[in-house]
């Protein structure tokens, strides 16, 4: 039986705590009395994932017929799937999407369906490379669809391939991919790594246009999503749910397939990463020393290549299919089963170490804006109830936070960092004064559509992700960060944990309480 | 009289060139053919000439280029050795008036006593004079390169009355050093290529870049003035003098693109997955760009950058003295960009001053009647505009430090790295040795 989440209280005899630090690690001694949150151990994987998929397609949940009954010859079938931002890191072949799509295609073939198109549900993310598509779908699927132009990537800026379905009760535009909307059936293949993913968000965001997405990706919505990892207290999700229901009402038939993965995130040689420090065995110690030594002498570029080539041994823990809301309820429960830890009370300081990767820099560079987003957007929001850190508290993030950007993937991020953040870090002011220009910039649009660039507006969303945390906290400190980029983010910089705690005391008093979010893997704190 | 003398000395010239390329600008001064000597004061016994006592003289980028031995060999036939360098001169007349003057240093037909003057001098454009090697004095394009006149890095020199402009009482001796470079900047700005709705890029935020910025704001007031500044204190000065946007050189191309919302081409197609080369992310050229770029640096890099940020049919004005450069001119050809030079000063056409509410200054020009070189109607001497601008924009504050003449080695070294030391203009002060004042 995998052990549940665990809350350690640091004693003087406790071993130092491992912090991710970009393409490296730090071992830090947390003050005695600090709390360290360890997520539950990886759940047992399904023994026969393909069998489980087949069973899910045969016995859908909610008001849905088995997939087989929804397919017929001469129909238009579209299969949309989550893009390269999931899972993290990329999983060892076969990818879960490949397994699901192969099963769907097999049934479709049996039923004589021959108009089938695949769509990567990019939303405003960068296009996937052929190599990435091949990894995610497997060679069989890739080779039978790609050469015929039947493997497509959603283009949120293609006026010819978007259709406006109407306005929600709140006046939100619902505009999605035309092929998806005009198909007899839209099958959506999802991977759920965190509670935010999936549900109506899959189609209503993944296949939508900027015009539509901007209704929920804005500072007001994000400040009112407490947290956006908790669907029932998330304005982001309310908006997506309104849109999803309108999509259904417009006659778009969605057959949702959601999957969950366990948190077996890193391969054996990085096993020390997901172990509790006092349980490190000799091989973990050697693994840590080896990795640290190696990384200490490796140029960052090489370290980056090493890390980004890691394939995760993630395994599937559940799959369910059918009507969106019913499916998503099951999925969310399974995600929580893997990630939940109950925590009593908030603390003054929340510490976290951030890795080299987040959903938006797969095979890319984790730039400072993404550092802020992963720390304050994702990790800070991994709670239900109330945040792990109190109102007016401080977050300490460990990450090198170098002034580095991937010019192909993140062109508008560079300008956002140079121009927008140099002017103001206030999300509301940023959205009012800069968003439209960036969102409609013809160069960014061109790069998003034809190269491998995130949409021009994407860095704004990353910053809006931080809005709730920025609103809640009195200070953010980056431990071991590069001073000029940290200052551009509007945060403080500290070179040691002691310095960081010293700065934090200015805001939270002389004897602060501290909670450390231990990762990997991810956890979801239920804070009472 | 004590002075810095520059002799024709090819071996030392070669040594200086090697040394400056290794050690940095200004560091080669002790290896260059420049030396501190006792010399007999220059004397020009020709009509209109007089001797003036130097109060201060600025170290110009072209002086640095001369001691670093990187100046263009183009000048070889229009200088006469040995010469005393220094042309940003503030001096006092000996004629009894005791007037303090700045000196328009070009040695054109009028000081040379050439009558009738060449067609450029005849209309007041003496910066374009074609007779720089003729007449009653030795060859030399301007004071500071001519054996006969002497130069500013000394106790006294000879000048022609037509070259003098009185300094108003509210401009101090050292502050007045900035008048000459300001005149160069104004001359560049008033080429007539800059309209009020222009976006103008200024490359560099040293003396010229800052004076150009002030001149743009005061004389044209264009829609957008964008300055690339390497250092924070330069950025602050540029903003104060009227720049709307200031950026670091590395983000210049992106900044211009943002202003024009065009496309950027090049360098973003690399297949290097992690894009680690230092220049990755710097686009090569823009589909749109500045209407006019004023290059105050004159290097291969700055000229290339200027071409990549100038719009099709736009103009690049070169005010920084270039030397031999290596640039790919294909963008110039393809985008039909005009590359124009701007040397020194002379007279300006007031109809090209576009800033609303601009009041032309009264003339402090020392009227010299021997040859007709009166300003034309609607024309004004560049120096008169410069004196006016220095007062209005308090440009005298850009003179950051001064050294006594005998400490010229330190002074040149300081000038060579003045920006890194938070300075702009460095000056030399003869004899009446003043303590070095740092007035950052
Ligand atoms: Zn002439």
Q: Are residues B419 and B330 in the same domain?
A: no
Smallest CA–CA distance, residue A451 to chain B, in Å, is 8
CA distance to A63, A321, B340, per residue, from A104 (Å):
19, 11, 67
Chain A residue at shortest CA distance from B248: A418
pLDDT in the model for residue B220: 98
Which residue of chain A comes nearest to B260, CA vs CA? A441
Nearest chain B residue to A445 by CA distance is B263
pLDDT in tens, B232-258: 999 999 999 999 999 999 899 999 999
CB pairs under 8 A between A and B: 52
Asked if residue B284 has pLDDT above 80, the reply is no
Structural domain includes residue B351 = no
Q: What chain A residue is nearest to B280 in terms of C-alpha separation?
A: A407
Domain-located, residue B40? yes
Contact list in A for residue B279 (CB cut-off 8 A) is none
pLDDT score recorded for residue A519: 85
Give contacts of A300 with chain B, Cβ < 8 Å: 276
| Mean pLDDT value of segment B388-404 | 96
Q: Decide which of B313, B341, B369 is a domain's last residue.
A: B341
State whether A407 and B275 contact (CB < 8 Å).
Answer: yes
pTM for the whole structure: 0.89
Question: Does B281 lie in the same domain as B153?
Answer: no
Q: How many CB atoms lie within 10 A of CB A47?
A: 8
ipTM of the modeled complex = 0.86
Q: Give B433's pLDDT tier (boundaries 50, 70, 90).
A: very low
| CB-based contact B262 A443, cutoff 8 Å | yes
C-alpha B370 – ligand 1 centre gap (Å) = 15
Based on the fold, state whether residues B233 and B155 are members of the same structural domain: no
**CB pair distance less than 8 Å for A447 and B268:** yes
Check if A182 contacts B (Cβ < 8 Å).
no
Residue B281 has a pLDDT of 59
A131 CB within 8 Å of a chain B CB: no
Average pLDDT over residues B419-428: 94
Both B172 and B197 in a single domain?
no
Partner-chain contact A365 B281, CB within 8 Å: no
Q: For B106-131, what is each residue's pLDDT tens digit?
A: 999 999 999 899 999 988 888 999 99
Instruction: Measure B335 CA to nearest chain A CA, in Å.
Output: 19
The pLDDT tens digits along chain A (528 residues) read: 788 888 999 999 999 999 999 999 999 999 999 999 998 999 999 999 999 999 999 999 999 999 999 999 999 999 999 999 989 999 999 999 999 999 999 999 999 999 999 999 999 999 999 999 999 999 999 999 999 999 999 999 999 999 999 999 999 999 999 999 999 999 999 999 888 899 999 999 999 999 999 999 999 998 888 888 888 899 999 999 999 999 999 999 999 999 999 988 888 888 888 888 888 888 888 888 888 888 878 888 888 888 889 999 999 999 999 999 999 999 999 999 999 999 999 999 999 999 999 999 999 999 999 999 999 999 999 999 999 999 999 999 999 999 999 988 999 999 999 999 999 999 999 999 999 999 999 999 999 999 899 999 999 999 999 999 999 999 999 999 999 999 999 999 999 999 999 999 999 999 999 999 998 888 999 999
Residue B268 maps to a domain: no
User: Start-end ranges of CATH 3.90.226.30 in chain A?
Assistant: 6-42+339-527
Task: Out of B261, B268, B276, name the one closest to residue A408 (CB).
Answer: B268
The last residue of a domain, from among B309, B341, B373: B341
Is A304 in CB contact (< 8 Å) with chain B?
yes
* In a shared domain, residues B176 and B197: no
Q: Is the same domain home to B148 and B25?
A: yes
CATH number given to A6-42+339-527: 3.90.226.30
Whichever domain contains B308, its CATH number is 3.40.50.720
A415 touches chain B (CB under 8 A): yes
pLDDT digits (tens, 9 = 90+) for B292-332: 999 999 999 999 999 999 999 999 999 988 888 999 999 99
Pairwise CB contact (< 8 Å): A301 & B257: no
Residues of chain A contacting residue B256, judged by C-beta atoms under 8 Å apart: none
The answer to whether residues B314 and B377 belong to one domain is: no
Judging contacts by C-beta atoms under 8 Å, the chain A residues touching residue B247 are: 418
Instruction: Specify if B186 maps to a domain.
Output: no
Which of B258, B262, B274 is nearest residue A304 as measured by Cβ atoms?
A: B274
**Would you say residue B347 lies in a domain?**
no
Residue scoring higher pLDDT (B24 or A35): A35
Q: pLDDT averaged over chain B?
A: 88
Clarify whether residues B337 and B369 are in a common domain.
no
Q: Which residue from B261, B274, B275 is facing A441, i.e. has the nearest CB?
A: B261
SS3 track for chain B: CEEEEECCCHHHHHHHHHHHHHHCCCHHHHHCCEEEEECCCCCCCCCCEEEEEEEEEECCHHHHHHHCCCCCHHHHHHCCCCECCCCEEEEEECCCCCCEEEECCECCCCCCCCCCCCHHHHCCCHHHCCCCCCCCCCCCCECCCCCCCCCCCECEEEEEHHHEEECCCCCCCCHHHHHHHHHHHHHHHCCCCCCCCCEEEEECCCHHHHHHHHHHHHHHCCCEEEEECCCHHHHHHHHHCCCCEEECHHHHHHHHHHHHCCCEECCCCCCCCCCCCCCCCCCCEECCCEEEEEECCCCHHHHHHHHHHEEEEEEEEECCCCCCCCCCCHHHHHCCCEEEECCCCCEEEHHHCCCCCCCCCCCCECCCCCCCCCCCCCEEEHHHHHHHHHHHCCHHHHEEEEEEHHHHHHHHHHHHCCCCCCCCEEEEECCCCCCCEECC
Calculate mean pLDDT across residues B395-423.
Answer: 94
Looking at the predicted structure, is the pLDDT value of residue B434 above 50? no
Closest CA–CA distance from residue A365 to any residue of chain B (Å): 7
Judged against a pLDDT cut of 70, whether residue B79 lies above it is answered with yes
Q: What confidence score (pLDDT) does residue B368 get?
A: 41
Asked whether residue B125 falls in the same domain as residue B232, the answer is no
B247 and A418 in contact by Cβ < 8 A?
yes
Of the pLDDT bands very low, low, confident and very high (cuts 50, 70, 90), residue B277 is very low
Residues with Cβ within 8 Å of residue B123, at least 6 apart in sequence: B376
Task: Compute the distance between CA of residue A6 and CA of residue A4 in angstroms, rounded to an integer.
Answer: 6
> Number of folded domains in chain B?
2
Among candidates B251, B270, B276 on the partner chain, residue whose Cβ is nearest the Cβ of A301: B276
Question: Can you give the residue range of the structural domain that contains B215?
Answer: 192-263+274-341
d(CA B194, CA B173): 33
Centroid of ligand 1 to alpha carbon of B379 (angstroms): 18
Chain B interface test: which of A23, A129, A405, A406 (most B C-beta within 10 Å): A406
Find, among A38, A46, A78, the residue nearest to A524 by Cα. Answer: A38
Select from 2.40.160.150, 3.40.50.11440, 3.20.20.70, 3.30.420.40 the CATH code of A49-174+184-261: 3.40.50.11440
CB contact under 8 A, A441 and B251: no
* Chain B residue with minimum CA distance to A306: B274
User: How many angstroms does the Cα of residue B373 sit away from the middle of ligand 1?
Assistant: 11
- Are both B35 and B175 inside the same structural domain? yes
Report the CATH number at residue B13.
3.90.180.10
Same domain, B29 and B73: yes
Q: Number of helices and strands (H, E) in chain A? A: 22, 20
**CA closest to B287 among chain A residues:** A443
Residue B383 lies in a domain: yes
Mean pLDDT of B90-103: 93
Over the stretch B29-65, which tens digit does the pLDDT of each residue have?
A: 777 788 999 999 999 999 999 999 999 999 998 888 8
Q: Are B130 and B234 in a shared domain?
A: no
Say which of B247, B268, B273 has its CB closest to residue A411.
Answer: B268
Residues of B in contact with A304 (CB under 8 A): 274
The pLDDT of B347-373, averaged and rounded, is 72
Which residues in B have their CB inside 8 Å of a CB on A?
247, 251, 254-255, 257-258, 261-264, 267-270, 273-276, 280-281
Query: Given this model, what pLDDT does residue B7 score?
Result: 86
Kindly report, as residue ranges, where domains of CATH 3.40.50.11440 are found in chain A.
49-174+184-261
Q: What is the pLDDT of residue B374?
A: 52
Question: Would you call A406 and B275 a contact, using CB atoms and an 8 Å cutoff?
Answer: yes
């Amino acid at each position: 039986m995998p052990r549940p989440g665990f809350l350690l209280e640091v004693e003087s005899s406790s071993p130092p705590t491992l912090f991710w630090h970009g393409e490296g690690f730090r071992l830090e001694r947390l003050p005695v009395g600090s709390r360290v949150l360890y997520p539950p151990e990886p759940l047992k994987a399904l023994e026969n994932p393909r069998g489980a998929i087949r069973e899910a397609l045969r016995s859908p949940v909610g008001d849905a017929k088995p997939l087989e009954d929804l397919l017929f010859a001469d129909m238009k079938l579209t299969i949309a799937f989550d893009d390269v931002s999931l899972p993290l890191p990329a999983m060892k072949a076969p990818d879960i999407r490949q397994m699901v799509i192969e099963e769907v295609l097999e049934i479709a073939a049996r039923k004589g369906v021959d108009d089938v198109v695949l769509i990567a549900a990019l939303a405003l993310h960068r296009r996937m490379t052929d190599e990435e598509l091949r990894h995610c779908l497997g060679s069989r699927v890739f080779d039978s669809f790609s050469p015929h132009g039947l493997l497509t990537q959603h283009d949120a800026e293609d006026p010819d391939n978007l259709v406006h379905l109407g306005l929600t009760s709140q006046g939100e535009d619902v505009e999605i991919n035309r092929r998806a909307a005009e198909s007899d059936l839209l099958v959506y293949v999802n991977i759920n790594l965190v509670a935010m993913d999936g549900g109506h968000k899959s189609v209503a965001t993944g296949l939508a246009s900027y015009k539509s997405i901007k209704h929920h990706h804005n500072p007001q919505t994000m400040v009112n999503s407490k947290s956006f990892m908790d669907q029932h207290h998330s304005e982001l999700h309310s908006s997506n749910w309104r849109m999803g229901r309108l999509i259904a009402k417009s006659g778009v038939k969605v057959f949702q397939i959601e999957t969950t993965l366990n948190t077996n995130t890193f391969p054996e040689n990085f096993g020390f990463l997901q172990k509790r420090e006092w349980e490190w065995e000799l091989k973990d110690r050697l693994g840590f020393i080896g990795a640290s030594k190696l990384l200490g002498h490796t140029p960052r570029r090489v370290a980056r290549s090493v890390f980004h080539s890691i394939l995760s041994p993630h395994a599937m823990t559940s799959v369910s299919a059918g009507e969106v809301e019913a499916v998503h309820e099951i999925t969310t429960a399974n995600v929580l089963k893997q990630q939940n830890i109950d925590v009593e009370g908030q603390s003054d300081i929340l510490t976290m170490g951030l890795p080299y990767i987040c959903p938006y820099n797969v095979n890319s560079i984790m730039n400072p804006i993404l550092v802020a987003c992963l720390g304050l957007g994702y990790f800070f929001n991994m709670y239900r109830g109330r945040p792990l850190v109190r109102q007016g508290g401080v977050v300490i993030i460990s990450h090198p936070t170098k002034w580095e950007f991937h010019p192909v993937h993140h062109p508008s991020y560079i300008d956002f960092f140079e121009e927008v953040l140099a002017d103001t870090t206030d999300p509301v002011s940023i959205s009012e004064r800069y968003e439209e220009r960036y969102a409609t910039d013809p160069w960014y649009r061109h790069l998003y559509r034809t190269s491998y660039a995130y949409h021009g507006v994407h860095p704004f969303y990353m910053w809006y992700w931080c809005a709730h945390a920025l609103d809640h906290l009195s200070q953010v400190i980056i431990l071991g960060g590069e001073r000029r980029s940290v200052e551009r983010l509007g945060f403080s910089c500290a070179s040691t944990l002691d310095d960081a705690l010293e700065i934090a005391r200015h805001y939270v008093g002389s004897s602060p309480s501290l909670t450390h979010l231990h990762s990997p893997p991810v956890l979801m704190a239920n804070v009472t | 009289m004590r002075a810095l003398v520059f002799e024709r000395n090819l071996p030392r010239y070669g040594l200086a060139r090697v040394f400056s390329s290794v050690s940095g600008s200004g560091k080669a001064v002790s290896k260059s053919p420049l030396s501190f000597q006792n010399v007999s004061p220059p004397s020009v016994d020709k009509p209109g000439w007089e001797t003036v006592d130097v109060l201060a003289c600025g170290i110009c980028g072209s002086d640095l280029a001369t001691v670093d031995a990187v100046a263009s060999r183009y000048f070889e036939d229009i200088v006469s050795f040995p010469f005393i360098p220094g042309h940003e001169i503030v001096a006092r007349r000996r004629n009894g008036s005791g007037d303090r003057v700045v000196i328009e240093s070009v040695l054109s037909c009028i000081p040379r006593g050439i009558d009738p003057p060449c067609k450029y001098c005849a209309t007041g454009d003496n910066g374009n004079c074609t007779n720089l090697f003729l007449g009653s004095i030795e060859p030399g394009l301007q004071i500071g390169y001519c054996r006969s006149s002497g130069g500013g890095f000394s106790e006294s020199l000879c000048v022609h009355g037509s070259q003098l402009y009185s300094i108003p009482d509210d401009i101090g001796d050292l502050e007045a050093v900035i008048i000459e470079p300001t005149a160069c900047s104004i001359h560049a700005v008033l080429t007539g290529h800059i309209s009020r709705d222009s976006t103008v890029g200024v490359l560099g935020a040293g003396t010229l870049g800052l004076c150009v910025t002030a001149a743009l704001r005061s004389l044209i007031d264009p829609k957008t003035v964008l300055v690339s500044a390497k250092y924070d204190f330069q950025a602050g000065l540029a903003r104060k003098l009227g720049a709307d946007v200031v950026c670091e050189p590395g983000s210049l191309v992106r900044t211009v693109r943002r202003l024009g919302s065009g496309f950027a081409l090049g360098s973003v197609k690399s297949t290097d997955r992690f894009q680690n080369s230092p220049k990755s992310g710097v686009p090569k050229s823009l589909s749109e760009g500045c209407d006019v770029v004023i290059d105050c640096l004159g290097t291969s890099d700055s000229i290339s950058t200027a071409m990549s940020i100038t719009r099709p049919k736009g103009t690049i004005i070169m005010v920084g003295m270039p030397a031999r450069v290596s640039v790919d001119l294909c963008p110039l050809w393809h985008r039909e960009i005009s590359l124009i030079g701007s040397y020194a000063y002379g007279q300006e056409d007031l109809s090209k001053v576009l800033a609303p509410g601009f009041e032309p200054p009264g003339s402090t020009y020392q009227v010299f009647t021997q040859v007709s070189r009166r300003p034309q109607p609607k024309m004004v001497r560049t120096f008169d505009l410069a004196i006016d601008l220095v007062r209005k924009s308090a440009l005298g504050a850009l003179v950051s430090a001064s050294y006594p003449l005998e400490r010229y080695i330190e002074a040149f070294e300081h000038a060579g790295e003045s920006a890194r030391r938070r300075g702009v203009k460095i000056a030399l002060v003869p004899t009446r040795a003043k303590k070095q004042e740092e007035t950052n």
